Amino acid sequence: MDKLKIGVLTVILALVLTPLKAWAWKASGSAKSSCVLEKAVIKVSFSNTELNGEQNVMNVIAKDLASTKTVALGSIAPGQTKNGEIKLDTSSTSANSVLFELSWINGREGKDKRFANYSSVDCKATEEPNEEPKEPKEEKSKNEKAELKVKKMVKLDGTKDYKENLSNVSVGDTLVFKIDVKNTGEKDVVDIEVFDELPIEFKVLDGELIKELERLPDNQKFSYTIRVKVKETGKVLSNDCVENKVKAKADINGNGSREKLSSDTVKVCFSGSLKRLPKTGTESLLIGSLIGLSLLTLGKLLQTRL
C-alpha cells in the first residue's frame, strides 16, 4: 500500500512540474548604477530570449526597489534587447536591486518577474580630486562706463532690406524706420529715453516717437519700428531731402537726470514734387477781382481809341 501511495505521488508531481518547466519565461535583465551630471541613475537592460513568434512578445517595466521609481521599457519581441534609465534625483545610492515585471502583450495570461542587483555609487566622489576651484566672477566696478549706441535705418514698406538713406520717395509712400539701441558699455544702463525728431513731411501710422526703457544690460539691445506716410505739405520738394534724427538719453550717474549718449540720422530724398495745395478763400477772390478789373479797363481803353 505504501508503495502504491509513493507511486501515485510521483506521477502527480511529474505532471505538475513538467508544464511549469515548459512554460518558464526565457528572459534576462541587468542593472548598473552610474552618474549623470552628478545625479545617480540606474541603467537597466532587458532581453527577451524566447523563440520567434508574435505570441512571445513581452511588456516589461523595471522598478528600483530602493526608491520605487520605475521606467517602462515597453514591448520587447523575441531576440530583442531594450535599455533604459531610472533617475533617482539624488547624488548617491546604496547597493540594491531592480525588479523587472513581465507580462505578455497579445492577450496571453500570466505574469513573471526577474531581479538584477546593482552596486552603490556616490556621484560627488567621482569629481577629480585635483580639480582647480573655479574662480569667482568679478564684480563689476563702479567706475565702468555706461554707453549706448543708437542706429536708425529706413525702407519702403513691403520691401526687405533697410538702408541708411532712401531716395525716389513720393507722396503717399509708406516708410518704415527701424531703431536699434544697444548697450555697448560695461554695465547696465538705466532710465533710457529714445526720442525721434520726425519731420513734418511724415505722418505716423504705427509706433511711438518717444520710447522709454527701465534697464538695458551690458551687451544687450532692443529694437522697434515706426511706420509713416509721406503726406502733402504744400511744399515743392523736387529733388529735395529731409533728415530724420533720433536721440538716446539715459541716467548714467544715478542722479535721476538723463544725459544724451547717442544719436543717428537717416536722409530721405523725394522724386518729383510734393503736391502744392491750391489757394482758397479771400486770397483767391482778391486775385480774381484784380484780373477781372484789369481786363475791363483794357477793354474800355480800346473802345475809346477806336
Assign residue 47 the CATH number of its domain.
2.60.40
Residue 58 lies in a domain: yes
Q: Do 212 and 153 reside in the same domain of the chain?
A: yes
What 8-state DSSP symbol labels residue 200?
T
**Number of domains, the chain:** 2
**For 25-82, what is each residue's pLDDT tens digit?**
777 889 898 888 788 889 999 888 877 766 778 888 999 988 888 988 888 888 888 8
State yes or no: pLDDT of 242 exceeds 70. Answer: yes
Residue 3, SS3 per DSSP: helix
**For 81-100, what is each residue's pLDDT tens digit?**
889 888 888 888 888 898 98
Please state, in angstroms and as integers, the Cα–Cα distance from residue 147 to each residue in 187, 204, 212, following that order. Answer: 8, 29, 16
Assign residue 255 the CATH number of its domain.
2.60.40.1530
Using pLDDT thresholds of 50, 70 and 90, give the confidence band for residue 286. Answer: low
State yes or no: pLDDT of 23 exceeds 80. Answer: no
Q: Do 87 and 194 reside in the same domain of the chain?
A: no
State yes or no: pLDDT of 150 exceeds 60. Answer: yes
Residue 263 lies in a domain: yes
Q: Do 118 and 173 reside in the same domain of the chain?
A: no
**For 167-197, what is each residue's pLDDT tens digit?**
888 888 999 999 999 988 888 888 899 999 9
What percentage of the chain reaches a pLDDT higher than 70?
A: 71
**For 289-299, what is each residue's pLDDT tens digit?**
566 666 666 66
Q: Do 83 and 45 reside in the same domain of the chain?
A: yes
Place of cell 548617491: 92
Q: Are 139 and 112 in contact (CB under 8 A)?
A: no
305 vs 224, higher pLDDT: 224
**For 159-174, what is each residue's pLDDT tens digit?**
989 999 998 888 889 9
Residue 289 lies in a domain: no
Write down the pLDDT at residue 277: 40
* pTM of the predicted structure, to 2 decimals: 0.44
Q: Which positions ≥6 away from 11 have C-beta within 8 Å? A: none
Q: Do 103 and 205 reside in the same domain of the chain?
A: no
Strands (E), the chain: 27-36, 39-48, 58-64, 70-76, 81-87, 92-93, 96-104, 111-118, 121-122, 148-156, 165-169, 174-183, 189-197, 202-206, 210-216, 221-230, 241-251, 259-270
State yes or no: pLDDT of 142 exceeds 60. Answer: no
Q: Do 121 and 227 reside in the same domain of the chain?
A: no
Bridge partners of residue 72, in order along the sequence: 61
Max Cα-Cα span within the chain: 174
**For 100-122, what is each residue's pLDDT tens digit?**
888 878 767 778 888 889 898 88
Distance CA 32, CA 44 (A): 6
Residue 32 lies in a domain: yes
Range with the largest mean pLDDT of 156-160, 256-260, 268-272: 156-160
Using pLDDT thresholds of 50, 70 and 90, give the confidence band for residue 20. Answer: very low
State yes or no: pLDDT of 143 exceeds 70. Answer: no
Angle at 218 between CA 216 and CA 222, to 5 degrees: 45
CA dihedral 289, 290, 295, 299 (to 10 degrees): 100
- Expressed as residue numbers, the domain containing 202 is 148-270
